[in-house]
Structure 1
């Protein structure tokens, strides 16, 4: 604007937008600390430090009532550099100070509540313009939609399912409020500051009025839904409790009550517990520290570990070469030759060192390991989920019997004890080789599954947060490349796991091992629809693949005390209890709100009736009588619609 002094606000700070002068004073007095999310891929916080100096406002933030979705007056403000806590703190403090004299505890639901709550108290102390009601306890939480993007530890600590008094709504009301504002935002961008502020105030006032007009039908719908769900959840809770040991239920109940009072890390009792599966390097260290075997094979563990490392290098090099053009460029051919020579040298040295451990066996055979072509994608492939295997193939890697001469190093198979199987190793007296390779292969499989879970989770988040919502071809292309890298890592982990599983079953053909380390199917690698399609149908029978619930040495379901089966029962009971309690609260809230709503309508009717009697000017008197009639109509309709419903307080 050429003449900013002409941009005069007629109602600055009198509506829903904050007073500009006071707000700018707060920003100047507050410390601008660079905040990085330590929880998960929260773009709102990580983008807060992006410089947008060419914009007077990069967006708006608001605080609204979580129960009804009403904007709170004087709590909507502009962001200047993304979503910074100094802005959010101002909005929340203003909202908590609005008609909150008798409130002692406030539930603040924020997309990144786990991060925001850490420094909120210190921010209020250091902000001269930030004030909170005395003795007000803040309970931070994260809405159910956004909680899926957080670390697992955030679920019990910030989930509304475990907060007493929260009821049973998703509490993502702000997401629905922004939808109509997106329609007016293009027009508002070109407005002056004062004009834009008044337009936003008008739309928020209209939004709140519509919430008020629809309050009674909304409460009736909520009352009906809550009663039905409470009946179902209470029945499920009682049925589960009836088949459990009363002593254990009493212990779980006591722990849950204590955790609800202490909060914080105490709420982690709602997470599945168990020992983490030992990693490859942990088992390597454990075997190395053990006394040497009777045969005196010093260095055996290191030799086996080198063999596993060579196999992983082959698994990585094969798809890299397959994705190169044919013919390769000179530069590509030079790099490929160098990699093959280094790998060939390692294989030759490995076989040479292995003669000392194999009692004269010929271990220099070469053959081509079968590599699943679906795990060697090309640059042109689209990165949607697809069939990785045929229906009849679980993806097990098997080595053919024939030997092939003149193979490239990435296609040569090195000799490992599992190649001849457990029976032959036992017959030759190579017990040490069998035992120690089996332990290392278990560590290799555990590592692969752990990394696979991590990358599949990242893949799901990339689809949900980036690929599905890309606003431009450039952004979509960049996201596709990120997904391509994740898919390549997933395929690498699957290949390595297949080899480890095949070796484990050859070295220990036991049914328990086959049950613990199962085959990975194509559908197991699909993007989690719990993240990308939260509101899809058919969630009632969905379940995670087996490797998501595998945990340490207790992976097999164990009905004994302390077994994983007991742990599943404990978690199921705690969640069933939480669901029942939240629906109880929702029913209680609905009953109270029905009465509160009618009484509030009556209060306004009586207020305008009193004003009509006091006013002497005809115009004002007519307006007061019109308002009295409006609120009287609201009151009568509310009593009529709520007739026969149980309202607490009557």
Structure 2
């Protein structure tokens, strides 16, 4: 160690060295510029120019292989001196093109004669092994395992992972406080099939150095078709031991093991579990947990577990799943979307081509290193990310609250008794999910298929009783009419294809437009007489066709309202589906006007339910289109929309509460981690004074880093409570006005 003056003197010809200063507790990084070193070009070391020229801010940037340096540098201004560029080249610094360069880079040269006749000895494989070992040692150092008195071999599974400071962790950021709804742990599962791995070695020849101490479990020497992962659903951090390899696709046994392995590190009793196939996966999960190794078994029956499907994946599921596993209606989830794993794959996938031919151990350790880097970057970015979410959530919460209150006030004038009942239904369902779901849109049970089945049963009974003769061995009256309706649908589809083709034909053969005749439209004539029984059968089947078409139209319009949030080009197929359903309804309606009295209305009423009225303050709401009320009480449709508005408003309120609670969790965790490092400072008992001092200094340095993060985050968030109070006061004032 040197004093400041000696350090500057010794580095007169080494201005790019990296030095560290002892502050009494630990070493801190310092630059030679900060210590007072000034480089003089054009003169011998230690000599000063009588006419020096320096930069205005005295900052010259040098790009070196060890880091980017800012040095204090003066050029020689003597009359006989070289140009500034030549002065830099004389010390082998390549300047940026400029008359007065402010930046330079260290010039590198080949370590051979560049002929290939005498190549240097290759050491690439040995270098990769050194890099592998260096990453492993740095992992131990950063996780504090080097301070364990029992040695690094005492490391437990997952102890080297970078933990999520925001997620609830008893004894770390939940000091003695009872668990609440805002202390739920959100985890999501997902798989990645880009990260395939070939069986190029085995565990004996390529053993993992981490041995399950970080994120991954031990790989086996076989092909892996991808990896399965368990992630913190709200913050995107990989959970300890939550990564497994997949052998034959996304099998339940692999994902069950990843889930159990990640969960056994947590003592939280309120869980929100997200998986894109949670509707099927959760059915036997409780039994599978009992079959896990004893160290991984957890009694989910003693925990409050809610299974959900991520928002982007949910529309691909059937209607019953969309109502039962949706974030939109579940209490206590805020604005969580569950798609956090997808954000991290783009960061990792570029490395897939390199890792697929690694040995199993090296591949596992490389993935652990990637995931550790991802978690650390997430951690240091929590200050800005939580602040951004708070700034977004508070105005949205107030806006939705104001809109919901306006809607509720409007409904009280016309449906006061029903509104009280709706509130009770929502509260009952939130307390017990086995109760009727108030958010579910009840579809009409009358369908064309159900009517066909009933007609077939009636005809079979008539044949058995002898009241009807069989005119054809394979065709009954209901089959005849049903086949005609199916042919009608095929005919209409063919007409649309021909019309589209004819439009293209005109582009290539202009003269054909004068010869094209209108395609004869299929129409039902009331002049054709048929047996009354057949007319009654067709009436029943047409009624089923009408209901099927309306159900398809409902689904298409709901999907249209959802898809408008995304790219327009996703809507093309949806428009076709809506138009097809509307055409089917029109054809069936045309038949029904002949077979039975009906009302004349449709085209102008095709609109989504949420388009039919406006929730903006002062505008109230309008009548809902009749297509949403056919065979339903109109109050039921309004009931569902009110329940949805109620849930959306409460979710924004929950999001604000969750974010403010997450801020406290983060600060408490960082404080706990700083104290943990201070405890490590005196943990090692050794007779080597230098080793003891080094361990003590490193632990104090890490504790200070945690304190610095705490102060930085607290400074970022200092105005959030004031922002919330002002927003709430403005919202109350607007409501009173």
TM-score class, shorter: 0.5 to 0.7
User: Does the 8 Å contact 1:237/1:577 carry over to 2?
Assistant: yes
1:188 and 2:355 matched: yes
Shift of 1:226: 1.3
1:67 & 1:170 partners in 2: Cα distance?
Answer: 8
What do residues 126-155 of structure 1 show as CA deviations (whole Å, max 9, x unaligned)? 334541157223221111111111111112
1:637 and 2:712 matched: yes
Q: Which residue of 2 aligns with 1:334?
A: none
Shift of 1:75: 1.3
Q: Which residue of 2 aligns with 1:132?
A: 298
1:419 and 2:523 matched: no
1:115 & 1:256 partners in 2: Cα distance?
Answer: 25
How does 1:310-321 map onto structure 2 within 5 Å? 311-312=484-485, 315=488
User: Does the 8 Å contact 2:452/2:478 carry over to 1?
Assistant: no
Residues 319 and 499 of structure 1: CA distance in aligned 2, closer, same or farther (over 3 Å): closer
User: Does the 8 Å contact 2:201/2:359 carry over to 1?
Assistant: no
1:203 and 2:370 matched: yes
Q: Which residue of 2 aligns with 1:598?
A: 667
1:215 and 2:322 matched: no
**How many pairs are equivalent?**
466
How does 1:40-55 map onto structure 2 within 5 Å? none
1:270 and 2:439 matched: yes
Shift of 1:108: 0.8
1:576 & 1:570 partners in 2: Cα distance?
Answer: 10
Q: Which residue of 2 aligns with 1:50?
A: none
Larger Rg over CA atoms: 2
Q: Which residue of 2 aligns with 1:385?
A: none
Residues 89 and 497 of structure 1: CA distance in aligned 2, closer, same or farther (over 3 Å): same
5+ long unaligned stretches in structure 1: 25-53, 323-370, 382-394, 400-415, 460-467, 470-482, 525-539, 541-547, 557-562
Residues 549 and 159 of structure 1: CA distance in aligned 2, closer, same or farther (over 3 Å): farther
Shift of 1:221: 0.9
What is the SS of the residue equivalent to 1:62?
strand
User: Does the 8 Å contact 1:19/1:74 carry over to 2?
Assistant: no
1:627 and 2:711 matched: no
What is the SS of the residue equivalent to 1:420?
coil
Residues 593 and 457 of structure 1: CA distance in aligned 2, closer, same or farther (over 3 Å): closer
How does 1:357-368 map onto structure 2 within 5 Å? none
User: Does the 8 Å contact 2:231/2:341 carry over to 1?
Assistant: yes
What is the SS of the residue equivalent to 1:577?
helix
Task: Name the structure where strand makes up a greater proportion of residues.
Answer: 2
What is the SS of the residue equivalent to 1:139?
strand
Residues 188 and 441 of structure 1: CA distance in aligned 2, closer, same or farther (over 3 Å): same
1:132 & 1:555 partners in 2: Cα distance?
Answer: 49
1:305 & 1:639 partners in 2: Cα distance?
Answer: 74
Shift of 1:455: 11
Shift of 1:171: 1.6
User: Does the 8 Å contact 2:230/2:238 carry over to 1?
Assistant: yes
What is the SS of the residue equivalent to 2:235?
coil
Shift of 1:184: 0.8
1:257 and 2:420 matched: no
User: Does the 8 Å contact 2:206/2:361 carry over to 1?
Assistant: yes
What do residues 5-45 of structure 1 show as CA deviations (whole Å, max 9, x unaligned)? 2212211101100245xxx7xxxxxxxxxxxxxxxxxxxxx
Shift of 1:612: 4.5
User: Does the 8 Å contact 1:438/1:507 carry over to 2?
Assistant: yes
User: Does the 8 Å contact 1:396/1:519 carry over to 2?
Assistant: no
Shift of 1:2: 5.9
User: Does the 8 Å contact 1:397/1:499 carry over to 2?
Assistant: no
1:164 & 1:249 partners in 2: Cα distance?
Answer: 20
What do residues 142-201 of structure 1 show as CA deviations (whole Å, max 9, x unaligned)? 111111111111122111222222111212101111111111111110000000000000
5+ long unaligned stretches in structure 2: 1-199, 506-518, 561-568, 609-615, 617-624, 724-737
Pick from 96, 104, 123 the counterpart of residue 263 of structure 2. Answer: 96
1:495 & 1:214 partners in 2: Cα distance?
Answer: 53
2:275 & 2:594 partners in 1: Cα distance?
Answer: 52
1:555 and 2:656 matched: no
Q: Which residue of 2 aligns with 1:13?
A: 212
2:605 & 2:470 partners in 1: Cα distance?
Answer: 33
Residues 445 and 286 of structure 1: CA distance in aligned 2, closer, same or farther (over 3 Å): farther
1:575 and 2:644 matched: yes
Task: Name the structure where helix makes up a greater proportion of residues.
Answer: 1
Shift of 1:602: 2.7
User: Does the 8 Å contact 2:444/2:547 carry over to 1?
Assistant: no
User: Does the 8 Å contact 1:315/1:492 carry over to 2?
Assistant: no
Q: Which residue of 2 aligns with 1:587?
A: 656
1:64 and 2:150 matched: no
2:373 & 2:383 partners in 1: Cα distance?
Answer: 18
Q: Which residue of 2 aligns with 1:246?
A: 416
How does 1:290-301 map onto structure 2 within 5 Å? none
User: Does the 8 Å contact 1:591/1:647 carry over to 2?
Assistant: no
Residues 458 and 87 of structure 1: CA distance in aligned 2, closer, same or farther (over 3 Å): farther
User: Does the 8 Å contact 2:390/2:720 carry over to 1?
Assistant: no
Shift of 1:209: 0.3
What is the SS of the residue equivalent to 1:75?
strand
How does 1:110-121 map onto structure 2 within 5 Å? 110-121=275-286
What is the SS of the residue equivalent to 1:144?
coil
What is the SS of the residue equivalent to 2:721?
coil
Q: Which residue of 1 aligns with 2:592?
A: 504
User: Does the 8 Å contact 1:592/1:647 carry over to 2?
Assistant: no
Please tell me the root mean square deviation across aligned C-alpha atoms, in Å: 4.7
Shift of 1:454: 8.8
What do residues 431-474 of structure 1 show as CA deviations (whole Å, max 9, x unaligned)? 88876654443334445666788999999xxxxxxxx99xxxxx
2:429 & 2:520 partners in 1: Cα distance?
Answer: 45
User: Does the 8 Å contact 2:208/2:218 carry over to 1?
Assistant: no
1:189 & 1:455 partners in 2: Cα distance?
Answer: 43
What do residues 225-247 of structure 1 show as CA deviations (whole Å, max 9, x unaligned)? 11111111111221121122332
Shift of 1:272: 1.2
Residues 198 and 233 of structure 1: CA distance in aligned 2, closer, same or farther (over 3 Å): same
